[in-house]
Structure 1
């Protein structure tokens, strides 16, 4: 189950991001692997641990390494903390903080273990991707981690949680909770999103920081864009009348970046339009490292709308 994000403590979050960045920068100094790769791996695993019951709750550093991978599969002592015997059994565990122990629950030791593993492949981008694929064995995992790293590099910070409503407040629009409703065109299926009705060409904005993962035509959604954010949530914008002029695949965007305009495209071959009133279909999807599923975006949309209204009221004289 995915629920709206609860109110956070800004000071606590700021300190948390500061501590994480210090660890990532330290690992960059030690390994010559850029900090944003460590941050990308950590954030990928943090998201997994929030949506999977078979993994423990995330800590300051959320990379999870199983006991047999840490100590070595054939190591008779699966709780081994001796770097020498761990190495003898080909475990990845290492001492990263200089206390003489390879502690699987130590943030610095875990980051050092990941850094040492990646160093066996190299420090350039292509070899890091190879190392990630050998470690996770899943193309999508590598894609998401690299996307995270690209966002962290582009914006130079760890706090990429800001969200905005997909349409600007100074345009007329309306929406209700339509997630899960039946849909008839193209066969029996449920509605995996919220429809936001507005006039043609009203600007459609990215709700989050993210990477443009998909752009093009779909016979159901017409001209559509897919953006994956730092929380591994995939944001889907459909029925657009077109795309923003400079929007390209792989591009980093931030909250408020215009990606297209409201339209009525879809329900047919490329170029089909006008089979329904103009609106934005907005969907949200989650990946748990194994599968991806849709969830109801309506509560999030209402929260983002309220947040923007409150911000406008604060700025008003």
Structure 2
């Protein structure tokens, strides 16, 4: 018996929703008291069976449900949660918890209350007595710091104390993180989610149009001498003057202007809290300004040879794009080798172009 594509799609969507319901609406068991390591929960077991696409669907359902209850826009909740996910990625030991949908992490003193004699307290009433942040969001009578609904409801309750306006949101973020970088990142993420009204913004593009007119190899970490001894924090992609330079990601233009080392350069922040750095440009796309939202493949400038001097210096080296990528730890940023990502994005785009060409013929 053959099943139609539409029925197959409906069955798959039903399975995703069912699995998401277990994660989003089901109560996750707390780790055993006294356990040194977080233990797997039923929600984590269900989560392991979902693809990344399905996990994002479940996360969006979680945000939508909490937004309906608290009237906090879903994209603000998603922005905080995504930022917290990025912090866990760079600080996995300090933010150790069972696998779950939410990335928001509150340590035991924050959750239960600094003066609470029971730092593993899950009783909402006693937690409130000691001014802990923990709340019961799932309706099971427990404030479980590893239950997705409880975690998100606790953060939502904190935000509501400050109000619903964007200024109130910014103040709440500052009072929670006491870090201007954190506030900036979350506001950037919120803008991206609000603009596109979806949380799957994982698409990427190679920084130059796919062709045979450019060349590059791994040059991260090699020595540089101009301006003092330093390492090369990126990959040089050699191409003719005027070759378009494109955004590799969905992101926000965080910086634009002259730098003695990078010449005319531009920096874009993505939802993984990575900073994409494009240097030695001959010029910018006129419509691109600081704080603008960009998408993968969007033109942002052109290949040049600017830099190594005062504003306007050109021609001290062959034309090329210096592409660098940096990860934010919450306090500092560090570069990592972009070459593997560049190869992956180039390969994926070439493959997509070939498939599109086949469909055309």
Q: Show the 5 A alignment for 1:101-180.
A: 101-170=142-211, 172-180=213-221
Equivalent residue for 1:214? 255
Structure 2 contact 72–164 (Cα < 8 Å) conserved: yes
Structure 1 contact 171–202 (Cα < 8 Å) conserved: no
Structure 1 contact 219–268 (Cα < 8 Å) conserved: yes
Equivalent residue for 1:36? 75
CA apart distance, 1:171: 5.8
Please say which structure displays the higher CA radius of gyration: 2
| SS of match in other structure, 2:283 | strand
Equivalent residue for 2:88? 49
The question of 1:22 aligning with 2:61 is answered yes
Larger mean Cα displacement after TM superposition, 53-62 or 300-309: 53-62
Pick aligned residue for 2:298 from 237, 257, 261: 257
Pick 1 or 2: higher relative contact order, CA cutoff 8 A, min separation 6: 1
- Alignment length, in residue pairs? 309
Structure 1 contact 196–282 (Cα < 8 Å) conserved: yes
CA apart distance, 1:177: 0.8
The question of 1:198 aligning with 2:252 is answered no
The question of 1:60 aligning with 2:101 is answered yes
| In 1, Cα distance between equivalents of 2:343 and 2:301 | 21
Structure 2 contact 81–103 (Cα < 8 Å) conserved: yes
What is the TM-score of this pair, normalised by structure 1? 0.95
Segments of structure 1 that go 5 or more residues without pairing to the other structure are 1-8
| SS of match in other structure, 2:51 | helix
What is the TM-score of this pair, normalised by structure 2? 0.83
Runs of 4+ in 1 over 6 A off after TM superposition: none
